[in-house]
Amino acid sequence: MEIVPPVPSPAFGHSPSSSFRAQLADAARFWEPRRLLYNFILVLVTFTWVLATWPHFRPALNLTSLFLLSILALIANAFYSVAYFLDLPFQLSSNAHRNRLRWGLWIAGTLFAILLTNYWIADEIYPDFH
């Protein structure tokens, strides 16, 4: 009786977690550079509101409101991170299709964030200061 040593599978040494890490790294290469542009756009929307209605917002510039603004910025970035979960199914498609889906998601998410920013300023912040 001859004993045959086991033959390693083609995926030997590549655990499912390393595949997940590769997918996460691919997603990060796309999403993280665009996070800066996303944040810049939201800052631009906020500054536009403040500059367009400057005398009205003068009393709002204090440490408390700057702290709350920082919290809102953190929340906006947490929402941006949701894109990683939505990106995982995109990993199954071809490169060209994946990039179109990612750009569509980025544009839709950024437009939604602009909408929320405008709503929050117009409805929640603006009426409080006279």
> Residues 63-115: pLDDT tens digits?
888 888 889 899 999 999 999 999 988 888 888 899 999 999 999 999 999 99
Name the pTM for this structure: 0.78
Query: Cα(20)–Cα(113) distance, rounded to whole angstroms?
Result: 28
83 and 109 in contact (C-beta within 8 Å)?
yes
User: What are the boundaries of each domain within the chain?
Assistant: 33-128
Burial tier of 1 (Cβ tally within 10 Å: 0-12, 13-18, 19+)? exposed
